[in-house]
């Protein structure tokens, strides 16, 4: 039975349609795996009743010949998505007890396509983190280990639960969200595929907001083909999100020909960083070689403002977060602090937020408050928005010169141990997103593809960045890279 | 630019987050680390560059200004920590 949870979406779809397996069987196999994997702390709210009911409905649809690709596919949902009647806490104590009265657009679309929800997945609080160590549920743990060393490793963040669950075969795929790298970095750390679509491709409605101009939902899957299939169900225009794009969706899976002959792939020189491990450098060069062997033309390009992406991000994201998180005031939902005799409404706000927000969230809300405050708005916030325009222009120039995709490392290192990067130096943790954050600032699609294993036996990923709205072409390039890299390693089961 | 205790206290107040007096020095240190990192932005020549306002140029959609939703008092209040008689309840605001 347990082999069923190891299937890709594409394999499961084909077997479901051929009547070789039922959605109920797939779902039971995943539920059993989840039960046996509490040590990973990936699933934080289980929804077996919903899963079984959805699986039965999916089997009925398949029997009736009405089976979209996601029909009967068991998935995990990041806790950031509001799911009707099911706890949706964004990994925060301040949303304890919150059960949305509504369904996010992305999960509604997945369910309408027949997907089965197994439960909600662990994540950094309000998606602020790169290691899943800021969650109110405690750390999610990677299924990977450094050889025989039992040191618990991070699955990355913020979509750490999603990454751990997919890599450990607790589900066939999971949703993630990516504000600065939160899909691509964890995907790279655990050896799976993670796609951040173009900003506006998936509706943000019903997803707890972190930084509204950067947030974007996407699939975390076991293969590039699965990412194409799942994106198809998640994407599309939504009148409830004014920034969602009213564009026709191409058939993403049909774009996967693997033919990249004549395609111009850019290698940005600014991504070669001082102190980058040699293994990452080697992997990057090998990735370029693989694409060249497949017939692509590899060109050196320059993205001169790359260095300023992280500092710009750490103005813009906290600024937007301080505004978005103002709604957690203990009045309308979530948790309210216990008040002392004589406390007024201001004390209620201050105590509720001090007790409900974790340290990293408080820090970012306050940094955001500072950069937006009178006298500093121009010096910090407007300057960062101007630098952001320059970062976007760098990419636009490369694309105007005929570059169709850009190849970079996904992360500056392999997964690190939980607790190895101390809370005292937040900037060191922020550096994890150095290769991914530019893509959010420019609103582009980016995908992380597992491409190798380091000397300690840990997965490493490569990132491909595409032109806006051209996920189909980006997925095809990623498909070619995936085929050439032939990454098949799986973590040895210890949990 | 360096953040002193008064600024840290004022920012915490503006953000409506209670911070104990003895936690302020560490907080100010962390702010200074992050702001020191952000200072790099001052090296960039931004003359003549407009601040980026939207990721992709798009016209905001418009719709008729009509009522499309409503009558959901019970749902709106269902998650409130304290709701009474169809309202959100908070500590006394006006004496």
* Residues A176-234: tens digit of each pLDDT: 999 999 999 999 999 999 999 999 999 999 999 999 999 999 999 999 999 999 999 99
| Confidence category of residue A424, pLDDT binned at 50, 70, 90 | low
Helix A278-293, helix A471-485: angle, nearest 10: 110
pLDDT-above-90 percentage for chain A: 95
Average pLDDT, chain A: 96
Residue with tokens 């820090």: A363
* Residues A145-166: tens digit of each pLDDT: 999 999 999 999 999 999 999 9
Average pLDDT over residues A3-13: 97
Residue-level pLDDT at A431: 87
Q: Are strands A446-453 and A297-301 parallel, antiparallel or unpaired?
A: unpaired
Judged by a CB distance cut-off of 8 A, whether residue A304 touches chain B is no
Contacts of A484 (CB under 8 A, 6+ apart): A290, A291, A293, A294
User: Is A264 part of the annotated catalytic residue set?
Assistant: no
Tell me the chain A residues in contact with residue B58 when contact means C-beta distances shorter than 8 Å: 200, 243, 245
Residue with tokens 């006394």: B92
Residue with tokens 């509720």: A352
Residue-level pLDDT at A337: 97
* Residues A300-332: tens digit of each pLDDT: 999 999 999 999 999 999 999 999 999 999 999
CB contact under 8 Å between A331 and B75, yes or no, is no
Tell me the chain A residues in contact with residue B50 when contact means C-beta distances shorter than 8 Å: 386, 389
Q: How far apart are CA B45 and CA A398, in angstroms?
A: 20
> Is the model's pLDDT at A78 over the cut of 90?
yes
User: Distances from the Cα of A207 to the Cαs of A38, A63, A178, A216, A366, in angstroms?
Assistant: 26, 33, 12, 9, 22
User: Is A182 part of the annotated catalytic residue set?
Assistant: yes
What Rg, from alpha-carbon coordinates, does chain B have? 23
Query: Nearest CA to A358 among A261, A293, A426?
Result: A426
* Residues A33-68: tens digit of each pLDDT: 999 999 999 999 999 999 999 999 999 999 999 899
Residue-level pLDDT at A2: 52
- What are the backbone dihedrals phi and psi of residue A258, each rounded to the nearest 5 degrees, phi first? 80, 0
CB contact under 8 Å between B15 and A363, yes or no, is no
Judged by a CB distance cut-off of 8 A, whether residue A196 touches chain B is no
> Is the model's pLDDT at A425 over the cut of 80?
no
> Is the model's pLDDT at A479 over the cut of 60?
yes
Lowest average pLDDT, out of A90-94, A380-384, B49-53, goes to B49-53
Residue-level pLDDT at B56: 77
> Is the model's pLDDT at B9 over the cut of 70?
yes
Neighbour order of strands in the sheet with A116-121: A43-46, A116-121, A74-78, A173-178, A216-221, A193-196, A446-453, A459-466, A405-409, A264-268, A297-301
Of B30, B39, B58, the CB nearest to A363: B30
Q: Is the pTM of this model over 0.80?
A: yes
pLDDT-above-70 percentage for chain A: 99
Mutate to test the interface with A, among B32, B38, B73 (most CBs of A within 10 A): B38
CA-based nearest residue in chain A for residue B7: A370
* Window B:12-71, CB contacts with A under 8 Å: 12, 14-19, 27, 30-31, 33-35, 37-44, 46, 49-56, 58, 60-61, 63
- Catalytic residue chosen out of the listed positions A182, A223, A322, A448: A182
Residue-level pLDDT at A422: 76
User: Is A135 part of the annotated catalytic residue set?
Assistant: no
Residue-level pLDDT at A99: 98
Residue-level pLDDT at A94: 98
Mutate to test the interface with A, among B52, B68, B82 (most CBs of A within 10 A): B52
Of B17, B54, B79, the CB nearest to A333: B79
CB contact under 8 Å between B75 and A101, yes or no, is yes
Which SS3 state, helix, strand or coil, does residue A204 take? coil
Residue-level pLDDT at B1: 57
Contacts of A95 (CB under 8 A, 6+ apart): A88, A89, A208, A328, A333, A334, A335, A356
Locate all alpha helices (DSSP H) within A191-308, ordered by sequence: 224-234, 278-293
> Is the model's pLDDT at A1 over the cut of 60?
no
CA-based nearest residue in chain B for residue A321: B15
* Residue A5 and residue A33 in contact, taking contact as beta carbons nearer than 8 Å: yes
Eight-class DSSP state of A81:
B
> Is the model's pLDDT at B6 over the cut of 50?
yes
Mutate to test the interface with B, among A100, A366, A392, A430 (most CBs of B within 10 A): A366
Q: Is the ipTM of this complex over 0.85?
A: yes
CB contact under 8 Å between A386 and B30, yes or no, is no
């Amino acid at each position: 039975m347990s082999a069923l949870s190891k299937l890709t979406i594409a394999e499961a779809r084909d077997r479901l349609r051929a009547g070789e397996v039922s959605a109920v069987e797939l779902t039971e196999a995943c539920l059993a795996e989840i039960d046996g994997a509490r040590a990973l702390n990936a699933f934080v709210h289980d929804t077996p009743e919903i899963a079984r009911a959805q699986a039965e409905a999916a089997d009925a649809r398949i029997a009736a010949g009405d089976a979209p690709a996601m029909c009967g596919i068991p998935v995990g949902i990041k806790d950031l998505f509001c799911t009707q009647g099911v706890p949706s806490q964004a990994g925060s104590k301040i949303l304890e007890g919150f059960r949305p009265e509504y369904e996010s657009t992305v999960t509604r679309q997945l369910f309408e396509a027949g997907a089965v929800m197994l439960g909600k997945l662990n994540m950094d609080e309000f998606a602020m983190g790169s290691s899943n160590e800021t969650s109110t549920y405690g750390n999610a743990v990677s299924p990977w280990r450094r050889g025989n060393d039992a040191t618990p490793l991070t699955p990355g963040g913020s979509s750490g639960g999603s990454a751990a669950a997919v890599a450990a075969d607790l589900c066939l795929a999971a949703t993630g969200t990516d504000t600065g790298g939160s899909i691509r970095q964890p995907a790279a750390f655990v050896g799976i595929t993670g796609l951040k679509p173009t900003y506006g491709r998936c509706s943000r409605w019903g997803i707890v907001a972190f930084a509204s101009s950067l947030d974007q939902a996407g699939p975390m899957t076991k293969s590039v083909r699965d990412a194409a299939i799942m994106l198809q169900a998640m994407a599309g225009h939504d009148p409830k999100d004014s920034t969602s794009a009213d564009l026709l969706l191409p058939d993403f899976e049909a774009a996967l020909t693997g033919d990249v002959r004549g395609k111009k792939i850019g290698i940005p020189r600014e991504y070669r960083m001082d102190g980058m491990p040699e293994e990452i450098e080697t992997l990057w060069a090998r990735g370029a070689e693989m694409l060249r062997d497949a017939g692509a033309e590899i060109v050196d390009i320059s993205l001169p403002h790359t260095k300023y992406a992280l500092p710009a991000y750490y103005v813009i994201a906290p600024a937007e977060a301080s505004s978005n998180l103002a709604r957690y005031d203990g009045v309308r939902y979530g948790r309210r602090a216990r008040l002392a005799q004589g406390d007024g409404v201001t004390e209620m706000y201050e105590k509720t937020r001090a007790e409900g927000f974790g340290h990293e969230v408080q820090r970012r809300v306050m940094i955001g408050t500072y950069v937006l405050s009178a006298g500093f708005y121009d010096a910090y916030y407007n300057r960062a928005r101007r630098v952001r325009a320059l970062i976007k222009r760098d990419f636009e120039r490369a694309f105007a010169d005929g570059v169709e995709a850009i190849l970079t490392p996904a992360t500056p290192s392999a997964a690190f141990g939980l607790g190895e990067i101390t809370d005292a130096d937040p900037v060191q943790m922020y550096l994890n997103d150095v290769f991914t954050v530019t893509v959010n600032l420019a609103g582009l699609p980016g995908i992380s593809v597992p491409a190798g294993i380091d000397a300690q036996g840990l997965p490493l990923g490569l990132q491909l960045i595409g032109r806006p709205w051209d996920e189909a072409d980006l997925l095809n390039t990623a498909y070619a890279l995936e085929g050439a890299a032939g990454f098949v390693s799986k973590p040895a089961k210890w949990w | 630019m360096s953040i002193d205790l008064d600024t840290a206290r004022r920012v915490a107040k503006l953000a409506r987050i209670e911070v104990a007096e003895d936690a302020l020095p560490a907080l100010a240190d962390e702010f200074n680390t992050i702001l020191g990192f952000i200072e790099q932005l001052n090296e960039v020549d931004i003359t003549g560059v407009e601040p980026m306002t939207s990721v992709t140029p798009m016209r905001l959609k418009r719709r008729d200004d009509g009522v499309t939703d409503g009558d959901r008092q019970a749902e709106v209040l269902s998650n409130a920590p304290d709701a009474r008689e169809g309202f959100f309840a908070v500590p006394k605001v006006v004496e």
